[in-house]
Amino acid sequence: MLAAALVVAAVVAVALPFLREPAPASDALHELDPAERRLLEAEEERDRALAALQELEADHRAGRISDEDYRAVVGSLRRDAAEALRTLDRLGADAATVRTSPLRAGTSDAEAKID
């Protein structure tokens, strides 16, 4: 009985720090400066454009969209995606000190594939 109580106490003592929510250093949110905000908006636009293109291609492959409808829509989506990537590249070049997104590394390759 004593051994079981010691085991339970040891398990609780070891597990307690993992069960508590860590206290945040601060509840304040980081305010974006205008350059960071423009870059974030450009990244979001890029993500939306590429997601729309990816969804269209998946729907076409699955047969939910006809070849005719696909051809009618794919060109404008590719142009939107390319423009979003160009904007992101331009903002990245204009604000070299702004945070770097890991997805930006392949931007030029992705843009070349879309064009």
Q: Look at residue 23 and tell me whether its pLDDT is greater than 80.
A: no
- Rounded to two decimals, the pTM is 0.56
pLDDT at position 46: 94
Q: Look at residue 69 and tell me whether its pLDDT is greater than 60.
A: yes
CA distances from 11 to 2, 4, 99 (A): 14, 11, 43
- Segment 29-46 shows an average pLDDT of 90
**CA 26 to the chain's CA centroid:** 24
Q: Look at residue 99 and tell me whether its pLDDT is greater than 60.
A: no
The widest CA-to-CA distance across the chain, in whole angstroms, is: 77
d(CA 54, CA 52): 5
- Segment 100-115 shows an average pLDDT of 47
pLDDT at position 24: 74
